[in-house]
A and B are shown apart, each in its own frame.
Chain A
Amino acid sequence: MAMPEAPTEIEQPTGSEVPDPALPWLVRVWNDPINLMSYVAFVFQKLFGFSAEKANRLMLQVHNEGRSIVSSGPREKAEFDTARLHAHGLWATMQWDG
């Protein structure tokens, strides 16, 4: 998938702190009433190479607690992972871990 070049400077949001580039972005998957549990676990295994056990554990966390963190890293990685999850129909969001 075509990705934009990483900016050499972080754009400064007006009126708030500059994000620390050392802190990661978190990717969360949220529960929804449509996606099958088996499908969500399958997607976790397929996209992130998790074992079946880990994929199931994260899926159950989504199901029981409403959401789970599935990956973290620099913003570009988080955007890539989020887009892949969206492509598989999962409800994924990004949040800076600040």
Chain B
Amino acid sequence: MAFAEPRVVRRGADDYELDIPADHREILRGLPGQLREVLDSGHSATRRLFPDAYPDDPKMSAEFDDMVREELIAERKQSLEVMEQTIDAKRVDGEQLSAWLGSINDLRLFLGTNLDITEESYERPLDEYGHSSQAMAVYMYLGWLQEMVVRALAADLPRTGEGDD
């Protein structure tokens, strides 16, 4: 049986088709809930979601973190919830697709941190990852899906903007 490819297609203003095979949706289904659970836990692999804003100043970084962390967590949880609610949807609007984009990215940051992803990771064959190979496959799949989501959403960015200065 051929491996079915997912597609994300812009169908019109604020209207996107999520043509994702059922077995892919089964893989995606549990992921938002898993990330939601670890967001509050301070799990070390979420550190990449809350970087130091002042790399040379731990005190100011801590103040910045105090200022933004709760809102960042709330925003992320909201996006994850939207992705969960639309996990079986064939059509979504721009806001929902943006939630997918943010959630997929957060999932990749979390999974990727757990997997110790480096630039070289992309060259290694999956079977070199041993018991992490399934997590690596999910990580790679999410990257592939994310490319499609970016491409679909990019069509609705303004054509002209602040150019070279």
Measured CB to CB, the residues of A under 8 A from B are: 1-2, 4, 32-36, 38-39, 42, 45-46, 48-55, 57, 79, 82-83, 86-89, 91-95
A86→B121 contact, CB < 8 A: no
Complex Cα spacing A49 to B162, Å = 6
Most buried by A among B48, B52, B67, B161: B161
Asked if A51 and B53 sit within 8 Å, CB to CB, the answer is no
Q: Which secondary structure dominates where chain B touches chain A?
A: helix
Q: What residues on A are CB-neighbors of B125 within 8 Å?
A: none
Does any Cβ of A come within 8 Å of B160's Cβ? yes
A4 contacts B117, C-beta separation under 8 Å: no
Contact residues in B for A55 (Cβ distance below 8 Å)? 161
In the bound complex, residues from chain B placing their C-beta under 8 Å from that of A82 are 53, 64
Q: List residues of chain B with CB under 8 Å of any chain A CB.
A: 48-56, 64, 67-68, 71-72, 75-76, 101-102, 105-106, 108-109, 112-113, 117-119, 121, 143, 146-147, 150-151, 153-154, 157-164
A73 vs B162: C-alpha distance when bound (angstroms): 16
Neighbouring B residues of A54 by C-beta, 8 Å: 161-164
Contact of A49 among B50, B56, B158 (CB under 8 A): B158
| Residues in A neighbouring B76, C-beta threshold 8 A | 87
Q: How far is the CB of B41 from chain A (nearest CB, A)?
A: 18
Nearest chain A CB to B6's CB is how many angstroms away? 16
B150 A42 Cβ-Cβ under 8 A: yes
Closest A residue, CB atoms, query B118: A33
B157 touches A86 (CB 8 A): no
Return the chain B residue nearest A83 by Cβ. Answer: B68
Could you tell me the distance between the alpha carbons of A94 and B60 in the complex, rounded to whole angstroms?
10
The complex places the Cα of A49 from the Cα of B160 at a distance, in Å, of 9
* A1 and B71 form a contact (CB under 8 A): yes
**What CA separation (Å) do A32 and B51 show in the bound complex?**
12
A48 cross-chain contacts in B, Cβ below 8 A = 162
